[in-house]
Structure 1
Amino acid sequence: MTPPPKWSHLPFFAETLPTIERTLAKDAREILPPVPQRFAALDLTPPDRVRVVILGQDPYPTPGHAHGLAFSVEPDVRPLPRSLNNIFKELRDDLGDAPDSGDLRFWAAQGVLLLNTVLTVPAGEANGHKALGWQKLAHDVLQDVSQRPTAFVLWGKQAQALAPHISSPKTDPNFETDHLLIETAHPSPLSARRGFFGSRPFSRINTWLTARGEPAINWTTT
């Protein structure tokens, strides 16, 4: 796996990735997503373009669904995974519309980093690679991008456990006013009604961005 050039300075790529690659090389199962897509989120949203970070868990374990971005699926996937369907339901309630497909690469192009904390999964075995060490990459990414004001979306306990890796921007000691931190229940059917629905994260992010003089994210139209 080739590190994304703009992110290759992160310690993970020299210290942790070689061990993960050796472990994956010995795994005879089908591993998702395909190798060229495993760093797709980082390839599409380099550090200097990150404005929003949405953390996921691990890729969809159904072949043909995952393509390297958290919560996103290939454009022809129907029906949508249940968590993504709930995200779109909240999006419609929040902004009145939702995309026509589950392909969220157009979010990534606007500076929304859709990062899973684990970047591979054996087909059909959700969380099957949770012990490989991928989480170190998410730790490094959060520390890197949080040196400037960023909106962080932490859905569920696994994502919220990474909050300590979000540091204050070095340019401003009063960092509490610099980041936007949104923490709610996960959008999965098991928890969405315990605080995800009604949280209106998309309008909150756009309000924060425009108050900073930045363009809002187009969440709905590809």
Structure 2
Amino acid sequence: MTSEISPPQAWAHLSFFQTDWPQIAARLSAEERQILPPAEQRFAALSFTAPAQTRVVILGQDPYPTPGHAHGLAFSVEPDVRPLPRSLNNIFKELQDDLGETPATGDLRNWARQGVLLLNTSLSVPEGEANAHKSLGWSKLVHQVLTEVSETPTAFVLWGNAAQALEKHIQPADHLILKSAHPSPLSARRGFFGSRPFSKVNDWLTHMGEPPIDWIR
């Protein structure tokens, strides 16, 4: 395993990295297709947001399959990406309706720095082949991450059926669990628009004595 794709130290104790990651890494190394995001960004979500700093979890599906878009955080894109991917554009529409502003770019790393874990349920994708690594084995990592962070009260934002199916891996505690339709253009009008997740998360954090997330910067 090369140093650039070693597990982030704060998460390295998860059994996934001993039992599953070596096989996944070998399969990725053997791929002839271009794999996104670049290897050094594969664990970016975990690198930005350690277990003890995680206050909010937003689950995505898999990285954007367009080169230059994904950088390892769910729904986030590199700051120069225009137009925004459609799901992210809908997230920003809801953010505008909820809080009256949106970030200047689709780069959500500032959310991650504030304790928002932007975790995809698959951390790799071949170029142009969305969801092609769904069965590669990443799900075990996601299950273990959810179990870990739910040891303390956390806000979980579960958009769509795939994310909501993972609720069973959240340990019981005084959590906020928000469930709605996915922001995809196929489903956003079925309950995502108008769900106001950003203000609800901040209201809950304030109630718990935590500073709110600055969703705009």
The equivalent of 1:68 in structure 2 is: 72
2:175 is the counterpart of 1:179: yes
The equivalent of 2:19 in structure 1 is: 15
Rounded to whole Å, the distance in 2 between the matches of 1:83 and 1:119 is 18
Q: 3-state SS of the aligned residue for 1:161? A: helix
Within 5 Å, give how 1:111-126 maps onto structure 2. 111-126=115-130
For 1:135-163, what per-residue CA distance to the aligned partner results, in whole angstroms no more than 9, with x for missing partners? 11110000000000000000001111100
Q: 3-state SS of the aligned residue for 2:118? A: strand
Aligned pair partner of 1:197 in 193, 213, 216? 193
Gaps of 5+ in 2: none
How far apart are 1:25 and its partner, in Å?
Answer: 1.6
2:9 is the counterpart of 1:5: yes
* RMSD after superposition: 0.5
The equivalent of 2:113 in structure 1 is: 109
2:134 is the counterpart of 1:138: no
Rounded to whole Å, the distance in 2 between the matches of 1:192 and 1:11 is 36
How far apart are 1:24 and its partner, in Å?
Answer: 1.1
Q: 3-state SS of the aligned residue for 1:203? A: helix
How far apart are 1:129 and its partner, in Å?
Answer: 0.7
**Total equivalences in the alignment:** 213
TM-score (norm 2): 0.97
Rounded to whole Å, the distance in 1 between the matches of 2:40 and 2:29 is 15
Q: 3-state SS of the aligned residue for 2:157? A: strand
Aligned residue type for 1:215: P
The equivalent of 1:47 in structure 2 is: 51
How far apart are 1:126 and its partner, in Å?
Answer: 0.2
2:97 is the counterpart of 1:93: yes
2:83 is the counterpart of 1:79: yes
How far apart are 1:22 and its partner, in Å?
Answer: 1.3
Q: 3-state SS of the aligned residue for 1:181? A: strand
Q: 3-state SS of the aligned residue for 2:57? A: strand
Aligned residue type for 1:220: I
The equivalent of 2:33 in structure 1 is: 29
For 1:103-137, what per-residue CA distance to the aligned partner results, in whole angstroms no more than 9, with x for missing partners? 00000000000000000000000011111000111
Rounded to whole Å, the distance in 2 between the matches of 1:112 and 1:48 is 11
Q: 3-state SS of the aligned residue for 1:13? A: helix
Rounded to whole Å, the distance in 2 between the matches of 1:7 and 1:130 is 22
Q: 3-state SS of the aligned residue for 2:18? A: helix
Gaps of 5+ in 1: 169-174
Aligned residue type for 2:139: Q
The equivalent of 2:171 in structure 1 is: 167
Rounded to whole Å, the distance in 2 between the matches of 1:193 and 1:164 is 26
Rounded to whole Å, the distance in 2 between the matches of 1:27 and 1:108 is 29
TM-score (norm 1): 0.95
Rounded to whole Å, the distance in 2 between the matches of 1:117 and 1:11 is 17
Q: 3-state SS of the aligned residue for 1:148? A: coil
How far apart are 1:219 and its partner, in Å?
Answer: 0.2
Rounded to whole Å, the distance in 2 between the matches of 1:52 and 1:200 is 15
The equivalent of 1:188 in structure 2 is: 184
Structure 1 vs Structure 2: percent identity of aligned residues? 69
Rounded to whole Å, the distance in 2 between the matches of 1:140 and 1:213 is 27
How far apart are 1:29 and its partner, in Å?
Answer: 0.3
